[in-house]
Structure 1
Amino acid sequence: MSFSVEGKVALITGANRGIGKAIVESFISHGASKVYLAVRNPGSAQALSQTYGNKVVVLPFDAADPASITALATAAPDVQVVVNNAGILEVADPLASNAITALEHEMNINVYGLMRMAQAFAPVLAKHNGAAFVQLNSVASIKTFTPFTTYSASKAASYSVTQGLKDVFAPMNIQVLSVHPGPIKTDMAAKAGFDEADTVTSVSEGIVTALKAGDFHLFPDAMAKLFEGEYQSYATNIISADLGGE
């Protein structure tokens, strides 16, 4: 399955900064007709609104609130590609005093938020003859980084859900893309202590290319590509293979 963003209507969560903002910019530069900016604070997207005018529509969004996501799907009935970019990172190893609280918070946003988005937008995307759903996962979904154990666990869970979405969305002609960045120059990377990181455009431009190629996995940046080199055989022979099970 191949999907071009040209002429399409997109919705991007966490669109006001970092990777989300870059995805907005890349999609518009590649010809997207309209982009919904789903953000917690609509005022935070004011600069994008001023830059792109009627090409963007700002909508309120809270990944932790099912009613907010239901309202989002109702407000954006013409969406053809959803990018679930919003996510959180807590610093917690398994023995940290805040580990359980951190994991509960990360699961609520990174996993349950993904499921809420997929369930709300499945009927919206299915109306089109070809659509796409993009999930921002992480290299931490396949390798635990000990200071961020709870984040890694939540991203492993979101990657597992993404694989399930690929299977259930396929009969609806909805392409699914699982994006696995390494450290990217964002506030989240700074919080995690990564001084050296790739640019946000490595992710945003990579998404456009991967959708057009019909790929399921995207490892966009330098660190991620090291993971891809070791992981590709497993991903091809196990993750993307039809092993005849449920």
Structure 2
Amino acid sequence: MSNPLKEKLAAGGCIGCHWATLGSPSVAELLAESEPDCILFDMQHGLWDRASLEYAIGLVRHKTIPAVRSVDASDYAIGHVLDAGARALIVPMVDTAEQARAVVRAAKYPPMGGRSGGGTRPMLDYKSYIPNANDDIVVAVMIETATAVANAAEIAAVPGIDMLFVGPFDLAMSIGTFPDFGPKHEAAVQSVLTAAKAAGKTCGIFTPYASFAADRRAQGFQWVVLAYDQALIQEPAKGAVKHARTGTGPDLVKDAVALVSGANGGIGSEIARALLRAGAAKIYCGARHVDSLRLLTAVAPDKLVPVQLDVTDPASVAAAAGACPDVSLLINNAGWNSNEGVFSGNGLDNARREMETNYLGTLALSRAFQPILAKNGGGGLANLISVVAHSNVPLMATYAASKAALLSLTQALRAELRKQGTHVMGVLPGAVDTPMTPGFEGMKMRPQQVAEALIQGLRARMEDIYPGGMASGVFNGVALDAKAIEGDFANYLPAETTVRAKA
């Protein structure tokens, strides 16, 4: 019998665990599918009882290593979780070396301790289990009070204790820093880590999310928490409600005076038509060359008004603002996509043009029309972004980077324009069937679908919309597993990158 957790710790590695509190074996089984180093079942604050714990450990033990935080430091509580099949034990609220020695006695069979023989899982193969259990099981004690911090070195020196495990929230309450942590709390945490290392022992800490876990791992902590079952359910549920939440107020489309930049393009022209169908009073159609707008404006010459507009030219932007003083709805649609990778021969020039058009052009137009929107009652502003703002597609690498900048700008505009009553919406579709996506062979949506989604989003006063199956799937995927989406998108490499790699 060999415990992979002990082997990894001895080699200087870090244990990444999932923390399970909800008392649901089914949830634990799902957590185990990700194959973390272990799953920690929390008996102290969780909803587990003996039956559900036994069942859950049986479900996960062939996928990962079961660990348990006991209810307390009593002999019964410790024996209870070990008999259920835990191969790592974390005991809460241990303040002194004497208490730590009592934990070791309860966790070890004679002659090292006084653990009683029995339990369903140990008895599956008791001749093998009992002689090896003392060396196999990781025994950790929690340092989570000011007293425990002061005694950390003595606790770490107790034979049979493998790890000090910091409980940061109880520690913060004990030293008077909760709910803020701050320098005093961090100093206490680091002193525990130092005490553990000085004694040749390992140190772990509860971390509420994976990025914090990575930070603690870099500091030398050898047991961190990657995911917490309650948060995995509670936080996405909150986020889903916030994302779907609609606002109230006057209709932003009906009887509006709109300006659509890039109206000669595939999406822009469809937005102009959709606004017309939705009852907009007037639509200024912006394009660098007004001749390119003839077919569009001929649809309704009395309502579709051509405007010369180059969003990268300050004089053109200023002239458009002067010519369109009645705008109540600004649609920043103008954009450019080189459809090339970072290492293409024109890579830097492409990146500059994409940032000039997609980011700085949108910023310039938004700044020019901010006072006009304010004068006309606030109205609305919509930015055509792209779902690649959330995860880069190397096939159009610098374009995606410019859209990531635009997403951030949209958030800033939303915050700053709220005080004047301007509703700001981000539109983040997936691939759209236009000349801007010739090299992308995945699922594409029609420009009309983007336009209709924009109208619906404005009417509902949504903050961000993700039209189409690709966009909604990517957005959901990024929220759940951003690295998986990044890996999928990395397969869409530009041709020149592949050629150079082969060379």
TM-score of the pair, normalised by structure 1: 0.90
Q: How do 1:30-179 and structure 2 match up within 5 A?
A: 30-179=278-427
- Quick check: 2:312–2:361 contact (8 Å CA) kept in 1? yes
Gaps of 5+ in 2: 1-246, 482-503
Could you list the per-position Cα deviations for residues 13-64 of structure 1 after superposition, in whole angstroms to 9, with x for gaps in the alignment? Answer: 1112300011011100010010000011111111122211211110101111
Which of 425, 441, 453 matches 1:206?
453
- Quick check: 1:78–1:124 contact (8 Å CA) kept in 2? yes
Larger radius of gyration: 2
- Quick check: 2:341–2:395 contact (8 Å CA) kept in 1? yes
> Could you tell me which residue of structure 2 aligns to residue 19 of structure 1?
267
For 2:284, the aligned partner's letter is Y
% identical aligned pairs: 32
After TM superposition, the runs of 4+ consecutive aligned structure 1 residues lying more than 4 A away are 231-234
Cα drift, residue 93 of structure 1: 2.0
For 1:148, the aligned partner's letter is M
- 1: CA distance between counterparts of 2:365 and 2:476? 31
CA RMSD of aligned residues (A): 1.6
Q: 2:431 aligned with 1:180, yes or no?
A: no
User: How many residues align structurally?
Assistant: 233
For 1:29, the aligned partner's letter is R
Q: SS of the counterpart of 1:90?
A: coil
Q: How do 1:189-228 and structure 2 match up within 5 A?
A: 189-190=437-438, 192-194=439-441, 196-228=443-475
> Could you tell me which residue of structure 2 aligns to residue 229 of structure 1?
476
User: Structure 1's 95 and 216: CA in aligned 2 closer, same or farther, altered over 3 A?
Assistant: same
Could you list the per-position Cα deviations for residues 159-209 of structure 1 after superposition, in whole angstroms to 9, with x for gaps in the alignment? Answer: 11111000001001000011111111111122x334741111211111111
- 2: CA distance between counterparts of 1:42 and 1:174? 28
User: Structure 1's 178 and 233: CA in aligned 2 closer, same or farther, altered over 3 A?
Assistant: farther
- Quick check: 1:133–1:176 contact (8 Å CA) kept in 2? yes
- Quick check: 2:252–2:329 contact (8 Å CA) kept in 1? no
User: Structure 1's 214 and 233: CA in aligned 2 closer, same or farther, altered over 3 A?
Assistant: farther
> Could you tell me which residue of structure 1 aligns to residue 24 of structure 2?
none
For 2:359, the aligned partner's letter is V
> Could you tell me which residue of structure 2 aligns to residue 10 of structure 1?
258
- Quick check: 1:24–1:35 contact (8 Å CA) kept in 2? yes
User: Structure 1's 175 and 226: CA in aligned 2 closer, same or farther, altered over 3 A?
Assistant: same
For 1:203, the aligned partner's letter is V
- Quick check: 1:111–1:154 contact (8 Å CA) kept in 2? yes
- 2: CA distance between counterparts of 1:24 and 1:233? 35
Cα drift, residue 233 of structure 1: 8.1
Q: SS of the counterpart of 2:298?
A: helix
- Quick check: 2:339–2:436 contact (8 Å CA) kept in 1? no
For 1:61, the aligned partner's letter is L
Question: 52-61 or 193-202: which moved more?
Answer: 193-202
Question: 224-233 or 101-110: which moved more?
Answer: 224-233
Could you list the per-position Cα deviations for residues 76-118 of structure 1 after superposition, in whole angstroms to 9, with x for gaps in the alignment? Answer: 0000001010100013322223211111111111111011011
Cα drift, residue 230 of structure 1: 3.2
Q: SS of the counterpart of 2:301?
A: helix
User: Structure 1's 209 and 232: CA in aligned 2 closer, same or farther, altered over 3 A?
Assistant: farther
For 2:262, the aligned partner's letter is G
- Quick check: 1:12–1:37 contact (8 Å CA) kept in 2? yes
- 2: CA distance between counterparts of 1:163 and 1:227? 19
Q: SS of the counterpart of 1:133?
A: strand
TM-score of the pair, normalised by structure 2: 0.45
User: Structure 1's 232 and 82: CA in aligned 2 closer, same or farther, altered over 3 A?
Assistant: farther
> Could you tell me which residue of structure 2 aligns to residue 239 of structure 1?
none
- Quick check: 1:183–1:194 contact (8 Å CA) kept in 2? no
Q: SS of the counterpart of 2:394?
A: coil
- Larger RCO: 1 or 2 (CA < 8 Å, sep 6+): 1
- Quick check: 1:12–1:20 contact (8 Å CA) kept in 2? yes
- Quick check: 1:110–1:155 contact (8 Å CA) kept in 2? yes
Cα drift, residue 222 of structure 1: 1.6
